[in-house]
A and B are shown apart, each in its own frame.
Chain A
């Protein structure tokens, strides 16, 4: 086992259980947060909790904390590109917002 201990990291059982419990509690908090009206902050709160949950899964269940850092660069790089993609699309969307007709969504194949 001495040779293998340098090859990979075994996540302690209590860490796995703690992460699982934290994910459960955060799921309950996500649902409970929708009972409180915080305006547009509700969406940001839900996204923040989801990101916290995702970080727990990636760091401990997916071993990223113990892994080679290059894997993290690949993963976070993909996330940054998605954020860039969505962010630029939203900036463009906002620019066209004044020309929208409320309740009218063309190109979705339904009867209007």
Chain B
């Protein structure tokens, strides 16, 4: 039996058919991943269309420099991954192992920077939903509008979730001023951080999953299992890793660079 054929399962007529089938399967999986993130992108689009002032205000709490560095780190890891696939295709075993190691290292750098960002938001209380309790109140409460004092017979713990009656709906009366103006803090900023943590969190989980897969590929590469005759696991793990990079390419401008 030809050495190149030893990896071919019996239901495939030849190696090329197996490679093509594997790739098609991976692309279908990537399509489901795109649809998974598509739901979150949809939530982002709807909330941003409805409440642009919240997004403009809240994105100032994200560190553009750290986000930019992470973008560069992921692009570099994508480059080393594509290079690793090339090394596998050319049977350059040592180079393949080194490039996979660099790619995994870039994943660690990305997660480390992400940790710094998350920790900062945790300390500042900039979290999702009910956990949004900003530490620096002067940053998040309008200075000129004092909070309404509860009446003595009202339990101060009980607060209505209804909008204040003085705020009329648009179109019925003169437009409420101040909500979209610079320097005035909008309400419900936690909305942005819910979207932020969901999107970056799910993306971060994908980075971790990609690193686990790449580590498995690295172990196999060290045993010399990949060559120009057989490198499908390197190829498919690479496709997954590039998808993680693709999603970040969109997340970075959408979350960090709001104008």
Contacts and interface: CB of A to CB of B under 8 A. Distances in A.
A38 B28 CA distance: 38
B90 interface: yes
Contacts of B116: none
Contact of A71 (B23, B41, B176, B238): B23
A79 B246 CA distance: 12
Contact of A98 (B20, B24, B171): B171
Contacts of B175: 102
B50 A61 contact: no
Nearest to B168: A101
Contacts of A93: 45-46, 49-50
B146 interface: no
A86 B253 CA distance: 18
Interface stretch (B76-84, B148-156, B206-214, B218-226): B76-84
A96 to B, nearest CB: 8
A50 B75 contact: no
Nearest to A10: B89
Given A61-B78, A82-B38, A16 B50 contact: no
Nearest to B175: A102
Contacts of A23: 75, 78-79
Nearest to A109: B129
A103 B53 contact: yes
Q: Please classify the interface of chain A as helix (H, G, I), strand (E, B), loop, or mixed, using the class held by over half of its residues.
A: helix
Interface in A41-86: 42-43, 46-47, 49-50, 53-54, 57-58, 60-63, 67-68, 70-71, 74-75, 77-79, 81-82, 85-86
Interface residues on A, range: 35 or more
Contact of A74 (B24, B82, B86, B169): B24
Contacts of A1: 228
Interface residues of B, number: 80
A110 B35 contact: no
A62 B242 contact: yes
Contacts of A108: 129, 188, 190-191, 194
A1 B200 CA distance: 43
A86 B38 contact: yes
B50 A86 contact: no
A70 B41 CA distance: 26
B199 to A, nearest CB: 14
B186 interface: yes
A43 B259 contact: yes
A29 to B, nearest CB: 11
B159 A111 contact: yes
Top 6 A-B pairs, shortest CB-CB distance: A109-B129, A82-B38, A78-B31, A105-B188, A42-B259, A46-B253
Given A20-B75, A61-B238, 14 more contacts: A3-B4, A10-B86, A13-B86, A30-B253, A43-B259, A57-B245, A67-B23, A101-B167, A102-B53, A103-B176, A105-B47, A105-B188, A108-B191, A112-B161
